[in-house]
Amino acid sequence: MTNKLSRDSIRDGDVYRMLKEQEHVTNIRPLTEAEREVLLDRFLEDAPAGPVWVFGYGSLIWNPAFRHTASRTARVFGYHRSFCIKTPLGRGSPDYPGLVLALDAGGSCNGVAFRLPAKNMREELSVVWAREMAIAGSYRAVWVRAQTAKGPINAVTFAINRASDRYTGKLSEDELVERLGTASGYLGTCAEYLENTVSHMRELKIRDAHMFRLQRLVREARSRKSD
């Protein structure tokens, strides 16, 4: 399997197959395509009028893996970016789970909004859906009103389900640095995930002091271990 998610690999079912192959060790059952489609249909019943955007705050910033017609930096309120979801596969293992980003309640978050093509909106959204909603109960898809330099837009984004057993709550800085600096899986290391996210945030002038501090601390910790 490729070590980078792409539109083709997601559409071909790579995410589902990877999760299914490891179900016996992770006890995580992936949703079938039919189950995901039912959930997506229900979610779209509440879609606001007008163009549909997807708000990215982590790996979607640097690897959206879906077709879009425009992108803008954007800010949402009521949620903040947090390494609060543990992963036993993509960037971790069952024995040593890694951490990936989710939106958690409170504060605000700067990221990137991608406009889906009007004619193929559902097709492209289904790609994001297969990627983010492959496991029942981890993320919650939500509609948000994102603020951009060109005005407010309606966007889909993915917040943590606090009832999920993958939700870590607020971890100490020391544990964040340890996990992000050492965990790895078939998609690569958590350190690479952090580096890619922060470097693209800097390029787009997206500020997040906590993320920038984590990047520095993880770099320092990994440098000490390599000496």
Render pLDDT for 17-29 as a digit per residue (tens, 0 to 9). Answer: 888 988 888 888 8
Domain range for residue 198?
7-226
Q: What is the CATH number for 56?
A: 3.10.490.10
Q: What does the pLDDT average to over 41-48?
A: 96
pTM as predicted: 0.94
Q: Does residue 167 sit within a domain?
A: yes
Given the residues 132, 178, 203, 220, select the one marked as catalytic: 132
Query: 132 catalytic, yes or no?
Result: yes
Which pLDDT score is estimated for 15?
A: 86
Please indicate, yes or no, if residue 78 is contained in any of the structural domains.
yes
> In this predicted structure, what is the pLDDT of residue 2?
37
Residue 1 confidence (pLDDT) above 60: no
Measured distance between the N- and C-terminal CA atoms of the chain, rounded to whole angstroms: 32
The whole-angstrom separation of Cα 148 and Cα 18 is: 36
Residue 86 confidence (pLDDT) above 80: yes
- Residue 1 domain flag: no
The lowest-confidence range among 21-25, 103-107, 129-133, 216-220 is 21-25
Q: Is residue 30 part of a domain?
A: yes
Per the structure, the count of domains in the chain is 1
Flag whether pLDDT at 218 surpasses 60.
yes
Average confidence (pLDDT) over 133-154: 95
Please check whether residue 16 lies inside any domain of the structure.
Answer: yes
Give me the mean pLDDT over the 202-208 stretch.
97
d(CA 34, CA 36): 5
The tens digit of pLDDT for each residue in 147-170 reads: 999 999 999 999 999 999 999 999
Provide the mean pLDDT of the chain: 94
Identify whether 56 is part of a domain.
yes
Is 60 inside any structural domain? yes
2, part of any domain: no
Residue 136 — pLDDT band, cuts 50, 70, 90?
Answer: confident
pLDDT at 227 (0 to 100): 67
